[in-house]
Protein backbone atom coordinates (compact mmCIF):
# COMPACT_ATOMS: atom_id res chain seq x y z
CA UNK A 1 0.00 0.00 0.00
CA UNK A 2 2.23 2.73 -1.28
CA UNK A 3 1.22 6.14 -2.44
CA UNK A 4 2.62 9.51 -3.12
CA UNK A 5 2.81 12.28 -0.59
CA UNK A 6 -0.09 14.05 -2.31
CA UNK A 7 -2.26 10.98 -1.79
CA UNK A 8 -1.43 10.73 1.92
CA UNK A 9 -1.63 14.45 2.73
CA UNK A 10 -5.43 14.61 3.22
CA UNK A 11 -5.33 11.67 5.63
CA UNK A 12 -2.39 13.16 7.52
CA UNK A 13 -4.45 16.32 8.07
CA UNK A 14 -7.81 14.66 8.67
CA UNK A 15 -6.82 12.22 11.41
CA UNK A 16 -5.30 14.83 13.80
CA UNK A 17 -8.18 17.23 13.08
CA UNK A 18 -10.75 14.57 14.00
CA UNK A 19 -8.78 13.70 17.12
CA UNK A 20 -8.68 17.35 18.21
CA UNK A 21 -12.40 17.74 17.45
CA UNK A 22 -13.28 14.64 19.47
CA UNK A 23 -11.07 15.65 22.41
CA UNK A 24 -12.60 19.13 22.43
CA UNK A 25 -16.14 17.77 22.39
CA UNK A 26 -15.37 15.51 25.36
CA UNK A 27 -13.75 18.42 27.22
CA UNK A 28 -16.80 20.58 26.44
CA UNK A 29 -19.28 17.93 27.56
CA UNK A 30 -17.50 17.55 30.91
CA UNK A 31 -17.50 21.31 31.63
CA UNK A 32 -20.26 22.46 34.00
CA UNK A 33 -22.64 25.09 32.58
CA UNK A 34 -21.74 27.72 35.17
CA UNK A 35 -18.02 27.58 34.26
CA UNK A 36 -18.45 28.32 30.53
CA UNK A 37 -17.15 31.84 29.89
CA UNK A 38 -19.01 33.34 26.94
CA UNK A 39 -22.00 31.72 25.20
CA UNK A 40 -24.54 29.27 26.58
CA UNK A 41 -23.95 25.53 26.55
CA UNK A 42 -26.33 25.03 23.61
CA UNK A 43 -24.70 27.77 21.55
CA UNK A 44 -21.25 26.26 22.04
CA UNK A 45 -22.59 22.85 21.06
CA UNK A 46 -23.83 24.26 17.73
CA UNK A 47 -20.57 26.18 17.15
CA UNK A 48 -18.41 23.14 17.85
CA UNK A 49 -20.56 20.69 15.92
CA UNK A 50 -20.99 22.71 12.75
CA UNK A 51 -17.77 24.72 13.03
CA UNK A 52 -15.64 21.59 13.35
CA UNK A 53 -11.98 22.40 14.06
CA UNK A 54 -12.50 26.17 13.84
CA UNK A 55 -15.34 25.93 16.37
CA UNK A 56 -13.14 23.88 18.69
CA UNK A 57 -10.33 26.41 18.42
CA UNK A 58 -12.86 29.08 19.42
CA UNK A 59 -13.86 26.93 22.40
CA UNK A 60 -10.27 26.65 23.59
CA UNK A 61 -9.67 30.38 23.08
CA UNK A 62 -12.94 31.88 24.36
CA UNK A 63 -15.30 29.40 26.00
CA UNK A 64 -13.26 27.03 28.10
CA UNK A 65 -12.92 27.97 31.78
CA UNK A 66 -9.55 29.19 32.93
CA UNK A 67 -8.53 27.17 35.95
CA UNK A 68 -6.36 28.68 38.62
CA UNK A 69 -2.96 27.07 39.09
CA UNK A 70 -2.08 25.79 42.54
CA UNK A 71 1.03 27.08 44.25
Does residue 59 or residue 68 have the better pLDDT?
A: 59
Each residue's pLDDT tens digit, 48-61: 999 889 999 999 99
Q: Domain residues of the chain, as ranges?
A: 37-62
Instruction: Dump the DSSP string for the chain.
Output: ----HHHHHHHHHHHHHHHHHHHHHHHHHTS-GGG--SS-HHHHHHHHHHHHHHHHHHIIIIIS--PPPP-
Total-model pTM: 0.78
Segment 8-48, tens digit of pLDDT: 888 899 999 999 999 999 999 999 988 998 899 999 999 99
Amino acid sequence: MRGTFAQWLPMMLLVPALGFWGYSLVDFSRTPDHEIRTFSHDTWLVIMTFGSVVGCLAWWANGRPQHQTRR
